[in-house]
Amino acid sequence: MRRHLNGLLLTCLLSVILLFCSCGNQKDTPLTGQNRPGKTPVSSPAVTKPAASEAPAAGKWDNTPKVLIPAAGGKAAFQEGGLEIDASHTENGYIMVRYSGPSDKIKFFVVTPDDVRYTYDLPVSEDYMALPLTGGDGTYTLDVREHVQDKLYSNLFKQTIDVKLKDEFQPFLYPNQYTWFTASTKAVIKASELAGGASDGLDVITAVYNYVITHVTYDEEKARTVQSGYLPDVDETLDTGKGICFDYAALMTAMLRSQGIPTKLEIGYSGDIYHAWISTYINETGWIDNIIQFDGKSWSLMDPTLGASNDASDLRDYIGDGTNYTVKYSR
């Protein structure tokens, strides 16, 4: 599948394109979230490393899991009516939120500096959850509404926060409620195994892709019955060997992030069809997308290696110029 051309710069594109219309009633509506089980440590962010006896496997790639842990540091917190927002680590591209008020749930809107509004449905819980800040540097608006009845919500809280990221990759390395994982997550352990013989990030991507498409089958029944607000459980996908498009994307995202590969789970349009896809960053090439495709029935992986013998027009013909893809949300 890969062709190595001597002395040439790799140019490649990675994207998991998923027919979101087959994953529930998601059309033109941002995916909504819910809490993850387990308590989140209230401490500084950390990288979880394996035991000293777990040495990286053969190959130039260091397959040691690099799991970043979102945390509530307590330095920049807002409270209102059972709502707690911890903005101590916005430089890492996330906020921590929990709600223990009188209502059964809240809607939490995060409006990015470029005025894209992300919507999260959050239940009552004592556990913090991580919400990503994926709009880059600038001023974000946090707008929270409390459920009253049916589709009626009342205003609870509104606040702006200024965000300056350490770098552009931070939001796409941490787990969040869309792609939740820890050092003990089976998907993280499996990703480390798969990356054991890799020479570079592209090898890791290829290994993860090949594993997922051969071990997970599309769940037609789940696709017909999934409810709005559904969130994948990456270990459940591994255990059952079944999933919808969102499950595939979340699993690949968790595996790649745990190997230190910045990965975006993006939602938007290909033409006029609602899709999701995955974009990743590789040091040799920068951000890449459109190598992994899902047409609603099957998955395919393009040859990611093109040489200098291919001129710019040939390259554009091969990978596309991106104009057919309109990103609405990056998770």
- 312: domain CATH number is 3.10.620
Q: By percentage, how much of the chain surpasses pLDDT 70?
A: 68
Boundary (domain end) residue, out of 172, 192, 224: 172
Query: Bridge partners of 80?
Result: 83
Helix ranges, the chain (H): 186-194, 201-215, 220-225, 234-240, 245-258, 312-319
Q: Do residues 24 and 226 make contact, with C-beta atoms less than 8 angstroms apart? A: yes
Boundary (domain end) residue, out of 153, 172, 191: 172
pLDDT digits (tens, 9 = 90+) for 248-274: 889 999 999 999 999 988 776 666 656
pTM for this entry: 0.77
pLDDT digits (tens, 9 = 90+) for 11-28: 333 444 443 334 444 443
Number of domains in the chain: 2
Secondary structure (3-state) at 68:
strand
Number of Cβ within a 10 Å radius of residue 150: 6
Provide the domain limits for residue 105. 71-172
Residue 308 resides in a domain: yes
- 75: domain CATH number is 2.60.40.10
Query: What sign does the CA torsion over 170, 172, 173, 175 have?
Result: positive
Residue 66 resides in a domain: no
Query: Bridge partners of 49?
Result: none
**Between 245-258 and 186-194, two packed helices, what is the crossing angle to 10 degrees?**
70
